[in-house]
């Protein structure tokens, strides 16, 4: 376990002081023995044999029989060693207590953070619930094909450098089923065409619907936007839209409609898409202009989204 900085510094200071004490005792003891070295080296009696004593890992004390100063030095060393061991033990206890207090404080902080997050989420849910009671809600009531007005057909193919591009004429009816006025209302259509696969077509168009509608959510119509009040009858837009993709012989087409608007607090949107059928076929004949009588728009309910 890592010691707190202050306790670790205190422990290092104690170890240094104890090491200095040991070294001073050892140096003093050896100095006294050095002065008697010549005489002791000449004597070889059993009473004067050197006896090794236990020592710690830092140094060894030499004590001769009947040497009070050596015994005292050994005792001082043992006391210093025990003092150092007990100091380390108490430092460990202090660190453990500190760690326990820190862990307890961390636990309390986590509880407080969790409570704050729950309160914030509850406040957000409450605010959303309140806003849903007073916000506008725009509904796409219907999308219908416009009859041909010569020389323009309901479905017309317009020449371009990459081939004939389809253009569709239609009407969109929108009503406000909410509680307050919808501001900055604008309708954004897309005529999407791609190679048809019965297993993936709906998913492909729904994915394109999400991409396109997200891209026009904050689009500005430069003054052409409208307001729709809850008491208004359905508001109708007559529109025409060009496809950005060339229609091939195996292509199908879908009309995507995004109605974006602003409420009291934020922008909202209603989305829908419709399959375009020619003579009850999902395949659109490229390059052939068609009147409304030969076309149908069928709403796909899985493409209805509103937020």
Q: Can you give the pLDDT of all 307 residues of the chain as single tens digits?
A: 455 665 666 566 656 666 666 676 666 666 655 555 545 544 444 444 444 444 444 444 444 555 565 566 666 666 767 767 777 777 778 777 777 787 777 787 887 787 777 777 776 666 666 767 889 999 999 999 999 888 889 999 988 887 788 999 999 999 999 999 999 999 999 999 999 999 999 999 999 999 999 999 987 655 567 899 998 999 999 999 988 777 778 889 999 999 999 988 789 999 999 999 999 999 999 889 999 999 999 999 999 999 9
Alpha-carbon distance of 9 to 244, in angstroms, equals 74
CA distances from 110 to 102, 104, 290, 292 (A): 12, 10, 67, 65
Whole-prediction pTM value?
Answer: 0.60
HSE-up of 216 (CA within 13 Å, CB side)? 22
> Is 302:209 a contact under the CB 8 Å cutoff?
no
**pLDDT computed for residue 40 by the predictor:** 52
Domain boundaries, the chain: 5-131, 138-306
Q: Which residues, including other chains, have CB under 8 Å from residue 175's CB and lie 6 or more apart?
A: 138, 139, 141, 228, 232, 233, 234, 235
The pLDDT of residue 45: 44
> Which pLDDT score, from 0 to 100, does residue 187 have?
95
């Amino acid at each position: 376990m890592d010691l707190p900085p202050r306790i670790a510094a205190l422990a290092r200071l104690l170890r240094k002081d104890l090491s200095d004490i040991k070294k001073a005792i050892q140096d003093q003891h050896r100095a006294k023995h050095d002065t008697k070295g010549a005489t002791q080296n000449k004597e070889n009696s059993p009473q004067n044999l050197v006896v090794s004593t236990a020592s710690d890992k830092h140094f060894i004390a030499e004590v001769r029989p009947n040497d009070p100063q050596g015994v005292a030095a050994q005792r001082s060393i043992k006391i210093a060693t025990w003092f150092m061991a007990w100091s380390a033990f108490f430092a460990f206890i202090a660190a453990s207590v500190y760690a326990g207090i820190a862990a307890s404080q961390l636990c309390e902080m986590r509880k407080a953070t969790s409570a704050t997050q729950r309160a914030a989420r509850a406040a957000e849910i409450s605010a959303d619930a309140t806003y849903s009671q007073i916000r506008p809600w725009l509904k796409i009531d219907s999308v219908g094909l416009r009859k041909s007005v010569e020389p323009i057909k309901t479905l017309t193919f317009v020449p371009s450098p990459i081939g004939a591009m389809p253009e569709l004429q239609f009407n969109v009816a929108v009503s406000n089923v909410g509680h307050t006025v919808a501001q900055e209302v604008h309708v954004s259509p897309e005529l999407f065409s791609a190679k048809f696969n019965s297993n993936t077509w709906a998913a492909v168009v729904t994915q394109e619907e999400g991409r396109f509608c997200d891209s026009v959510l904050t689009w500005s119509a430069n003054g052409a936007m409208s307001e729709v009040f809850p008491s208004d009858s359905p508001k109708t837009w007559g529109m025409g839209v060009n496809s950005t993709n060339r229609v091939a012989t195996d292509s199908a087409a879908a009309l995507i409609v995004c109605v974006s608007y602003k409420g009291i607090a934020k922008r909202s949107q209603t989305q829908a898409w419709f399959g375009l059928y020619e003579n009850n076929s999902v395949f659109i004949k490229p390059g052939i202009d068609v009147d409304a009588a030969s076309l149908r728009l069928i709403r796909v309910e899985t493409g209805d989204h509103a937020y």
